[in-house]
């Protein structure tokens, strides 16, 4: 990785948004029609800090994706939200749509389980990576292309110049997820929300994408919120783990604490459900 990439991607550590961390406090979200209103997040406290992978685990429907969506300001229509989500000095829950737009996709970016959902099937990879970047930064076409090449190189897509001319259907799922990560990083976010980033990928390519996310975190100081139902993925990557159930965080700690000495019965049952080779039997740190 070049020094300019490193500098460029690390984002501004200071400035109007402060240290680039996300701090969620007592986040409550209700959804659904008036007759069947449901509390889907019930008092979430969570920090996503630069250079750290914060894991959010829990079974399907526990509220992991809604937590990420709340940070992105992308909750379903009709959602009511209370509590606080601070990004540095900025309270995201109080931002106007226009100001939130300037944060979302720029300072805080998101990738999802299905990389094709964030990539347009009819647009070249170059357009996907550069259009949003140019609109937000005013960069020239040539500068935007240079940055796209730099990012594709960073996420280890082979032959970036050729890749820019191709379309999504010409890539495998693993390569597409790398391209989606490159796209998410174009505007130099300080926080990346990765929602089940490897769930749809072949087991053989999962580890590579996880290593890439770890590297981005360690080398660039990116703060990663890793959302996954898979404690095996979690144990490979997260620095800290919060376990959700029914819209609440029921357990949290360092990866080592949560994986090797879970306190909550529910966490124990998630670990017991792991395939044999992921299960920490000897009490050693799984890294
Ligand atoms: N668009 C929606 N409208 C109403 N309820 C929703 C919507 N999306 C998700 N939910 C509900 O919110 C809860 C949390 O969902 P989600 O955050 O997607 O869970 P997870 O990501 O942990 O699987 C679930 O009970 C789900 O049914
Ligand atoms: Mg989800």
Residue 281 lies in a domain: no
Q: Mean pLDDT check: name the lowest of 33-37, 91-95, 116-120, 205-209.
A: 116-120
Beta carbons of 118 and 197 less than 8 angstroms apart: no
Residue 268 lies in a domain: yes
pLDDT, tens only, 263-282: 999 899 888 887 765 665 54
Given ligand 1 and candidates 66, 110, 225, which is best to mutate, with the most ligand atoms within 8 Å of its CB?
66
- What tokens does 94 get? 């109080």
101: three-class secondary structure by DSSP: helix
Q: At what angle do helices 3-10 and 141-154 cross, to 10 degrees?
A: 100
How high is the pLDDT of residue 10? Answer: 38
Atom 27 of ligand 1: nearest residue by CA position? 61
Give the mean pLDDT of 44-68. Answer: 96
pLDDT, tens only, 70-124: 999 999 999 999 999 999 999 999 999 899 988 998 899 999 999 988 899 999 9
Atom 20 of ligand 1: nearest residue by CA position? 61
Residue 287 lies in a domain: no
Beta carbons of 54 and 239 less than 8 angstroms apart: yes
Residue 208 lies in a domain: yes
Q: Kindly give the distance from the C-alpha atom of residue 246 to the centroid of ligand 1, in angstroms, as a whole number.
A: 10
Domain count, the chain: 1
Separation between Cα atoms, residue 168 and residue 170, nearest integer Å = 5
How high is the pLDDT of residue 116? Answer: 86
Give the mean pLDDT of 155-180. Answer: 96
Residue 187 lies in a domain: yes
Q: pTM here?
A: 0.89
Ligand nearest to the CA of 39: 1
| Whether pLDDT at 4 is above 60 | no
Residues near ion ligand 2 (CB < 5 Å) are 65
Bridge partners (DSSP) listed for residue 225: 54, 193
Separation between Cα atoms, residue 221 and residue 39, nearest integer Å = 34
Greater confidence (286 vs 121) lies with: 121
Residue 285 lies in a domain: no
Beta carbons of 142 and 192 less than 8 angstroms apart: no
Beta carbons of 229 and 57 less than 8 angstroms apart: yes
Question: Could you list the residue range(s) of the whole structural domain that residue 195 is in?
Answer: 3-272
Beta carbons of 93 and 85 less than 8 angstroms apart: yes
Question: Which domain CATH number covers 259?
Answer: 3.40.50.300
How high is the pLDDT of residue 125? Answer: 98
For CA atoms 233, 191, 115, 124, the dihedral sign is negative
Residue 69 lies in a domain: yes
Q: Which atom of ligand 1 is nearest to the CA of 244?
A: 22
For CA atoms 54, 29, 79, 97, the dihedral sign is negative
Q: Mean pLDDT check: name the lowest of 87-91, 255-259, 282-286.
A: 282-286
How high is the pLDDT of residue 28? Answer: 98
Bridge partners (DSSP) listed for residue 193: 110, 225
Mean pLDDT (the chain, rounded): 89
Burial of 182 (0-12, 13-18, 19+ CB in 10 A): buried
Q: Mean pLDDT check: name the lowest of 2-16, 111-125, 168-182, 256-270.
A: 2-16
Greater confidence (226 vs 13) lies with: 226
């Amino acid at each position: 990785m070049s020094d300019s990439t490193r500098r460029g991607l690390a984002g501004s550590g200071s400035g109007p948004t402060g240290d680039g961390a996300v701090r969620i406090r007592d986040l409550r979200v209700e959804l659904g029609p008036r007759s069947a209103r449901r509390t889907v997040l019930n008092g979430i406290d969570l920090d996503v800090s630069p250079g750290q992978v914060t894991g959010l685990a829990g079974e399907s429907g526990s509220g992991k994706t809604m937590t990420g969506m709340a940070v992105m300001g992308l909750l379903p229509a009709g959602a009511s939200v209370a509590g606080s989500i601070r990004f540095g000095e900025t309270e995201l829950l109080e931002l106007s749509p226009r100001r939130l737009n300037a944060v979302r996709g720029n300072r805080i970016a998101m990738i999802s389980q299905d990389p094709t959902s964030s990539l347009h099937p009819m647009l070249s990879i170059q357009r996907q990576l550069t259009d949003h970047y140019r609109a937000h930064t005013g960069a020239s076409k040539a500068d935007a292309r240079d940055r796209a090449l730099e990012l594709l190189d960073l996420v280890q897509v082979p032959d970036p110049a050729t890749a820019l001319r191709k379309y999504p259907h010409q890539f495998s799922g693993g390569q597409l997820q790398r391209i989606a990560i490159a796209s998410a990083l174009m505007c130099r976010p300080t926080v990346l929300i990765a929602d089940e980033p490897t769930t749809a990928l072949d087991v053989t390519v999962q580890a590579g994408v996880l290593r890439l996310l770890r590297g981005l975190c360690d080398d660039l100081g990116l703060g990663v919120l890793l959302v996954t139902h898979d404690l095996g993925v979690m144990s490979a990557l997260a620095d800290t783990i919060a376990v959700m159930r029914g819209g609440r965080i029921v357990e949290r700690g360092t990866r080592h604490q949560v994986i090797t000495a879970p306190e909550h019965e529910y966490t124990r049952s998630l670990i017991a459900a792991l395939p044999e080779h992921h299960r920490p039997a000897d009490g050693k740190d799984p890294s």
